Every structure is written in structure tokens, then in C-alpha cells.
């Protein structure tokens, strides 16, 4: 009897797990998230032109991004992934002043509920590599929150708003070269 009860319990858990996988897409295991985004904010830049003088300034800037994150759900509320992305930063003052970056980063997400539709928060940290003959790199991080909703049996869609920060350094004289702002992203979760 005890064995039957145990088997029944496991069957219930398994059934629940199967049910959850089909409706929430937050089960343990692999996921793939593809996002496109737009960031609006500032570009601040300092360069040391002499031992006693810095030049630079701050201007408005925007960025377009395409990112792909592959990872696993550690629990049905927490996911961990590794991402790659392409991001183009452009200054409002000058369209010629832009940076194309290849990004490598880690992504952590917490979903508030194991449901089809739920809010979540996320954090990314990694590095941005400038796609240019003059190679440069710098750290990046994103923090934000969003909402996930179901659009298919094994597919969800997300929308998010967050803070984005990207630093690009590489030459000693450049003491600050940083883009930061608010990022809006939409993505598909498989």
C-alpha cells in the first residue's frame, strides 16, 4: 500500500511537472530566449589630453540590440543562462560616433510565479567587445524587470524595461567612455 501511495505521489508530481511544462515554460531544463531591444540614454566621455587637463563631455545616445540567451531553469522560478549579443551605440550629436559591440554575458532571471503570465526581474553582467580594427572592450551590466506571457504551447513572449550600462575602454588616455540608459526589450522564449 505504502509503495502504491508513493508511486501515486510520484505520478502526481510527474503529472504536475508535465502539466507545468506545457503551460508555464519554466520547468527545469533548457530554454532559449531571443530579444531585440532599444536603449535610450547618455554617452559620457573623458580623455586626458595633458597631465593637467581632461576633455570630453556628455551627449544623448541610443542603442539597438539583438541578443540570444541559452540556459536552464534551475528551479521553476530561477533561470541561469549565457548570452551573446550584438549592440550598436550611436551618439545623438553625431551619427559618425558609434560603437558596434559583440557582447558575452551571463543572465540570471527570477520569475515571481510559476504561471503562464508572470512578472520577472533580470540581471546581466559581462563584457562588450568592440568590432573594430582598434580592438577595445569593457564591462557591461543590465538590470530590469518585465512580464512573461504565453503565446503558444511551448513558447512565451517577454517584454522588459531596465537599466543598461556599457563601458568601453582600451586606451590609457581615455578615462571614461560609457553608455548608460533605459532599455526596452521584447523577446521570444522557447
Partner 1 sequence: MLLCALIGLTVQSCKKEKTADISDGIEAGAKDRLSMSKTAFDNLYSEMRKKNSKELPSNIKNSFPEFVSLFHHKPTVISKTSQSIKATSPLMMARKASLQASLKPITKSNVNSDQGAYEEVAPTYDEVMTEIVDDQVFQSMLNVEGEIQVENIIYKVTPYGTFFTNANNYAALNNVFADIALQNDYTVRLEDQATPILMDAVQVESTQYNDVRLLNQSVYFVDSFIEEDLPQPEVTVFPSDAVLDPLIFPNINDAGNTGGNGVTPPSNPEELPIENRQSYFLDNLIMGTQPAADPAYNNNIDYPIEFRTGVGSILQTFFDNSTRYNNFNNKYRMSALMYNRNYGVIKTLGIKVKCQKKGWFWWNKTDAQEIRAGWDYISYKAPIGVEKIGLPNNEFAPSIGQPFLINPTENPFYGVPMWGSGNSYAKRYNLYGWYMKRGDNEIFTVTIPGGLLPINHLEDVDIPSSKFKFAINAGWAKLKEVLTRSAPSSGSLISPNASNYKFPIYPLNGYGEVKYLSINDMENMPKSYVGGISKTTYLNGDYNLYTIVSPQELREYNTDMIDIPLDFRMIEIKLSTNPNKLAFDIGQAAASLITDKLAKSYNVDKGTIIGAVKWDNQWRSIRLNFKMKE
# residues contacting partner 1 (CB under 8 A) = 19
Residue placing its CB nearer to partner 1 in the complex, 40 or 145: 40
Q: Which of residues 6-25 bind partner 1 (CB under 8 A)?
A: none
**Cα angle value 71/181/80 (rounded, 5°):** 10
Q: Which of residues 30-69 bind partner 1 (CB under 8 A)?
A: 40-42, 44, 46, 52-60
* Residue 173 sits in the site that holds partner 1 (CB under 8 A): no
Q: Which residues contact 6 (CB under 8 A, 6 or more apart)?
A: none
* Residue 161 sits in the site that holds partner 1 (CB under 8 A): no
Q: Please check whether residue 166 is in contact with residue 101, taking contact to mean a CB–CB distance below 8 angstroms.
A: yes
Q: Which of residues 67-126 bind partner 1 (CB under 8 A)?
A: none
Q: Which residues contact 87 (CB under 8 A, 6 or more apart)?
A: 39, 63, 64, 65, 66, 67, 100, 101, 103, 128, 166
Residue (of 31, 45, 11) closest to 167 by Cα position:
45
**Cα angle value 156/162/164 (rounded, 5°):** 120
Cβ at position 10, least distance to partner 1 in Å: 50
Cβ at position 136, least distance to partner 1 in Å: 20
Cβ at position 36, least distance to partner 1 in Å: 22
In sign, the C-alpha dihedral spanning 9, 10, 15, 16 is: positive
Cβ at position 163, least distance to partner 1 in Å: 7
Residue placing its CB nearer to partner 1 in the complex, 158 or 183: 183
Choice from 180, 184, 186, 188 touching partner 1 (CB under 8 A): 180
Interacting residues with partner 1 (CB under 8 A): 40-42, 44, 46, 52-60, 163, 165, 180-182
Amino acid at each position: 500500500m505504502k509503495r502504491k501511495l508513493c508511486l501515486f505521489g510520484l505520478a502526481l508530481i510527474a503529472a504536475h511537472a508535465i502539466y507545468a511544462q506545457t503551460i508555464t515554460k519554466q520547468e527545469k531544463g533548457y530554454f532559449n530566449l531571443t530579444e531585440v531591444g532599444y536603449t535610450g540614454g547618455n554617452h559620457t566621455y573623458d580623455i586626458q589630453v595633458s597631465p593637467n587637463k581632461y576633455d570630453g563631455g556628455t551627449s544623448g545616445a541610443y542603442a539597438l540590440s539583438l541578443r540570444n540567451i541559452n540556459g536552464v531553469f534551475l528551479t521553476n522560478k530561477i533561470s541561469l543562462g549565457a548570452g551573446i549579443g550584438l549592440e550598436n551605440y550611436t551618439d545623438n550629436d553625431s551619427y559618425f560616433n558609434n560603437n558596434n559591440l559583440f557582447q558575452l554575458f551571463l543572465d540570471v532571471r527570477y520569475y515571481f510565479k510559476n504561471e503562464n503570465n508572470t512578472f520577472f526581474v533580470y540581471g546581466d553582467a559581462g563584457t562588450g567587445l568592440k568590432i573594430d580594427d582598434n580592438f577595445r572592450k569593457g564591462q557591461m551590466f543590465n538590470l530590469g524587470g518585465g512580464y512573461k506571457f504565453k503565446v503558444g504551447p511551448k513558447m512565451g513572449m517577454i517584454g522588459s524595461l531596465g537599466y543598461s550600462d556599457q563601458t568601453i575602454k582600451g586606451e590609457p588616455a581615455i578615462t571614461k567612455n560609457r553608455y548608460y540608459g533605459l532599455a526596452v526589450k521584447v523577446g521570444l522564449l522557447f
